[in-house]
Amino acid sequence: MDIFEKLRKNMGPIGQYQKQGHGYFAFPKLEGEINPRMMFRGKEVLTWSLNNYLGLANHPEVRKADAEGAAKYGMAYPMGARMMSGHTSLHEELEQKLAAFVGKPAAYLLNYGYQGMVSIIDSLLSRNDVVVYDSESHACIIDGLRLFPGKRFVYSHNDMDSLRKQLGHATKLAEKTGGGILVITEGVFGMAGDLGNLKAITDLKSEFNFRLLVDDAHGFGTMGKNGAGTGEHFGVQDKVDVYFATFAKSMAGIGGFVAADEDIVMYLTYNLRSQIFAKSLPMPMVIGALKRLELIQTHPDFLENLRRVSKALQDGLTKVGLDIGKTQSPVTPVYMKGSVPEATNMVLDLRENYGIFCSIVVYPVIPKGQILLRLIPTAVHTLKDVEITIKAFAECAEKLKKGEYYGEEVVQA
């Protein structure tokens, strides 16, 4: 069979809905300046889909730093990969400040979070090593593990008995291969909002010999007393061996970083293929990240606002009888029961008649018969925004229960 013909017949589990959903349910175009209220198809909508947790995306000081960095250096500087010709003092300065902020001896910049995590896993592990990872790990972790030629064990999500059991299997295997063990979890699970149980995981170090890699993409800037992440939240950052975060969320930018002991960071510096063979992070992004980090450290009110809005939203949704699962972070899932057509009809109603824009997740990403609407509160949302949203969700949930969204096929928006 011709490869292209095969692809045309099977567009993939999500792509099967592309004819009905492209441009509306998938690949929607939110326009205007990044704020809680943006334009969607010519209408203003109250937006809960942007990971702009601390409201830095459109902060005037951030916009100024980005613009001045671009004006001074352009987007091309520095040319080349860091190892060859793309290394600068400002890259080093950002790394030093990030390391200090998250309580690690050293850090290394990454061009993108996703490719960075894939490359970290690839670099840290050899064929003889063994990996134990949470069953709900992000796609970047799964893709990194696909490159790993050794054995891996998966433990049930946040289930410490399951983790202990898998560590037992991993230990026996590592004794045979002569390799080591790496445990991987997320700090904040981005879909459900619950936290990786870092305290319990690190406590297991007294029973088993392993290193811990934490993907804290959603925890950096949002968790802990100072926003230094989920390790700070649990008081175990010193026991997290490799800490990873991205700039795409709280920092409202592009890039990421990995932090660890100096010798491990130096090892990664010379072995991360995603950085060795890729152009250095452009200078305007580095300058912009420095400003963003400065604002996070000097404006605790941003984090306070985020937590105030998050609590109001989650308390309000729960009060009207909606299921927000076990979230322990700003990530706010709303779980309902219904078919894919019902889900799309409800989202259409939310966007067109209530002016509420949020992300929708349905089968095959989650089990059949379930609907997940994910809301991301930010420091720049208001309590009025929360009030409007809770009312809309309560009414739509009632319509769903009454069967008003029932349909045989996915609606074409």
Q: Residue 335 has what pLDDT?
A: 96
231, two tokens: 């390790």
Q: Residue 354 has what pLDDT?
A: 97
Q: Which residues contact 165 (CB under 8 A, 6 or more apart)?
A: 155
Residues 182-191, mean pLDDT to the nearest whole number: 97
Residues 384-396, mean pLDDT to the nearest whole number: 97
326, two tokens: 């076990």
pLDDT for 306-338, tens place per residue?
Answer: 999 999 999 999 999 999 999 999 999 999 999
Q: Residue 20 has what pLDDT?
A: 74
Residues 389-405, mean pLDDT to the nearest whole number: 95
Q: Residue 207 has what pLDDT?
A: 96
Q: Residue 411 has what pLDDT?
A: 63
Confidence of residue 11 (pLDDT cuts 50, 70, 90): confident
16 φ/ψ angles, rounded to the nearest 5 degrees: -60, -20
At residue 41, the 3 state secondary structure works out as coil
Hey, what's the torsion of the CAs at 189, 186, 110, 141, to 10 degrees? Answer: -90
Domains located in the chain, CATH noted: 3-57+300-402 (3.90.1150.10), 78-281 (3.40.640.10)
Find out whether 356 and 397 touch, Cβ atoms under 8 Å: no
Mean pLDDT of the chain: 94
In which residue are the tokens 């308390």 written?
315
pLDDT for 238-250, tens place per residue?
Answer: 999 999 999 999 9
Whether the pLDDT of residue 120 is over 70: the answer is yes
DSSP 126: -
pLDDT for 241-291, tens place per residue?
Answer: 999 999 999 999 999 999 999 999 999 999 999 999 999 999 999 999 999
pLDDT for 355-364, tens place per residue?
Answer: 999 998 887 7
Whether the pLDDT of residue 412 is over 90: the answer is no
